[in-house]
Every structure is written in structure tokens, then in C-alpha cells.
Amino acid sequence: MARAMVHLLNASFMILMMISVMIEAAPTYPPPTPVTPTPPTVPTSKPPGTPSGESSKRPRCRNPNYSFCYNVEHTCPAACPNACVVDCVTCKPECSCDRPGAVCQDPRFVGNDGITFYFHGKQNRDFCLLSDSNLHINGHFIGKRNQNMKRDFTWVQAIGILFDDHQIYVGAQKTATWDQSVDRVALSFDGEPIYLPEFEGAKWQSEDDPSITISRTSVTNRIVVEVEGNFKITANVVPITEKESSIHNYAITSEDCYAHLDLSFKFYSLSEDVTGVLGQTYAKNYVSKVKMGESMPVMGGDRKFITSNVFAKDCAVARFTGTDSTDSGFSSEYASLTCGSGIDGTGVVCKR
């Protein structure tokens, strides 16, 4: 019995020795070193896309209903090398500022009736461009005084758009020397700045209301603001060029090129009583009072249309309530005039 116990103890000792050797022979690994995540690399170059300004220089029909013309590239006419759209019906490019609703240079409006008139306003003041029950658009005018004239040279530098309980600001930033590759668009929605990446097709959409969108139609300086069922606005930031300054005696200096907006409007649900400098031309019983025989027919009414700021609703003819009108709304689109063009507009504000 004693001998059996000795053998058992010896066997146990041998097993323990073998386990000890195996443990010592096993490889050991240090604990893992904490790794700090590498922050994502911020792109230093813009995504590949259309060079700045190419969208307006090489316009296309954007309406797929016109298959023979859809997405066909065109060259802008010589009269407007940087500002044209394609009429999808005729499949021909047209100068944006020659379309109904255009507002050009010192500002020149082409009303919804196709009649051209000027509304000069005053520099550093705001005027009601359109006012309806659920859409109100003011324009902020910039300009300078010509000592040989009794009025200011003026341009639309920014617009304030009100609808429902929302506000959208679209403006041109003050610029000394113009560079088309540098974006000068200023945007905000309900007081919050909006940043759009600089590539064609970049899009912002309201989280609260997906029907509200802002997108780029060029790498820089050209955007589209759209509220489904209400309006669509194309805005293009442009400068006063040296050539324009020389022709019109604007006396623009290197300190300020007076960057301003070219605007193209399309409305989907205006009432018959819409008003405003441009808006009145969409009213049911509107009859133009401008003198057609004059080379520069002027639309008066500064006192009716002047307002206290770009978002104010206090012009004398204001109709905005933030709700749709009880009367039947109508689309301002002229089928025979706007056809299926890329901007489809029936109210345009732009520059020569």
C-alpha cells in the first residue's frame, strides 16, 4: 500500500513538471497598444465636374418629355454668351434676359405679359418684387449715384423669400475683383446659413420639409431654389464688367464690382390678386401703364413697393399671410412661351 502511494506521488510530480515546461515554452504576447483613429482626410480639391460657368455657357434641355432635345448641349447666342436657356420645344437656346419676367441691368424687367420696363428703386433700400397670400419676395437694391443723373444706378443684390412660416435668403457677397471660380453666393434658411459643396448637382434639402430644396447648377455662383407646388427660382451671381461700366458710365472701380443677382422665377400657385413690381404683371386684370414708345419705359411706384428690410411684409401693397389664398390659384406658366425649357420660367429677374 505504501509502495502504491509512492508511485502515485511520483506520477503526480511528473505530470506537474510537464505542465510547467509547457507553460514556460508557450509564447507570450504584449497587451494591444491603443490605436487613435486617424481623422478623415478633408478633400483639398473639388470633385470632378463641370468647370465654373459651363452650365450656363453650354445649356441643355432638362425636360425628358422632349426626347429629341433632352440633354442636347447648345452654345449660348453671342448676345448672351453666359446667360441662356434652351427652349425644349424649338430646341434652340434663348437669352435668359429676353424671356418673360426678366429683370436686367439697372434693373430691366420683362413682365409676364412680355412688356419690358425699368424699375430703378434706390440704392441700399428694399422693394417688394412679388406679394401674394403665401409667397412674398423682396429685393435688396445696391447701386451708386451718377452726378449727371437724378437717380441711382441700381442692381438687385439679394432677395428675401417668405412662404408658409419660412424664410430663405439668397444674396451676392460684396466682391472687389471678380473671379468666376470663387463662389460668392450667400444662402440661409430660417436664419441658419446653408453650405453647398462646390460641385454641379450639390443639393441641400430641408429636414423638416423635403419639398424645399436648394441645388447648384454650376460649380460656383449659380443655384436653384425650389419649393414644390409654390415656386422655382434660379439665381446667378454676376459682376458689373469693365465693358458694361464703360458703356453705361457706371464708373465701377477695383474696390467693388457690384456683384448682384440674375434671377429667374417660375410660379406654380399664384392668386389672381398677386402684386409687387414684378408680381403685378401676373395679376388677372393687369394692364401695363408704361409708355411703350420710349426707349427706356419706366415703371413708377417706389412708394407702393418700398419696404423696411429684405424680409419685411410692410410695403403698401403687401398681401402675404403665410397661407394659401381662398381663391383659385393658378400657375403663371405660359405654355407657348416657356414650353419645356430647362428653367421653365415665367417670371425672370436677371441682368444684361
Q: Output the DSSP codes for 275-299.
A: BSTTGGGGSTT----S-TTSSS-B-
pTM above 0.85, yes or no: no
Per-residue confidence (pLDDT) for residue 44, from 0 to 100 = 33
Question: Which residue's C-alpha cell is 441658419?
Answer: 192
Per-state percent for the chain, helix, strand, coil, to nearest 5: 15, 30, 55
- Under the phi-then-psi rule, with left for phi > 0, alpha for psi from -120 to 50, and beta for the rest, what region is 249? left
Three-class secondary structure of residue 168 per DSSP:
strand
Cα(42)–Cα(39) distance, integer angstroms: 9
All three cell numbers of 234? 434660379
Q: How many Cα atoms occupy the beta-carbon half-sphere of 14 within 13 Å? A: 6
Per-residue confidence (pLDDT) for residue 210, from 0 to 100 = 96
Residue type at 41 in one-letter notation? T
Phi, psi of 336 (to 5 degrees): -75, -20
Whether 98 contacts 110, CB under 8 Å: yes
Number of domain units in the chain = 1
Q: Output the DSSP codes for 129-158.
A: EEEETTEEEEEEEEEEE-TTSSSEEEEEEE
Three-class secondary structure of residue 12 per DSSP:
helix
In a domain, 20, yes or no: no
Cα(211)–Cα(134) distance, integer angstroms: 15
Per-residue confidence (pLDDT) for residue 108, from 0 to 100 = 82
pLDDT means per 10 residues in the chain (352 residues)? 54 54 45 36 39 62 91 89 84 86 79 88 96 97 85 93 98 96 98 96 96 95 95 90 88 91 89 96 91 81 94 97 69 44 43 42
In a domain, 44, yes or no: no
In a domain, 40, yes or no: no
In a domain, 219, yes or no: yes
Describe the strand order of the beta sheet including 306-307 as a list of residue ranges. 192-193, 185-189, 166-172, 152-163, 135-145, 125-132, 306-307
In a domain, 331, yes or no: yes
Range of the domain at 286: 54-349
Cα(237)–Cα(187) distance, integer angstroms: 12
Q: Output the DSSP codes for 19-57.
A: HHHHHHHS---PPPPP-PPPPPPPPSSPPS-PPTTHHHH
In a domain, 48, yes or no: no
In a domain, 179, yes or no: yes
The DSSP H or E segment spanning 188 is strand 185-189
- Under the phi-then-psi rule, with left for phi > 0, alpha for psi from -120 to 50, and beta for the rest, what region is 247? alpha
In a domain, 187, yes or no: yes
Q: Which residues contact 4 (CB under 8 A, 6 or more apart)?
A: none
Question: Which residue's C-alpha cell is 429629341?
Answer: 68
Question: Which residue's C-alpha cell is 460684396?
Answer: 174
Phi, psi of 92 (to 5 degrees): -130, 145
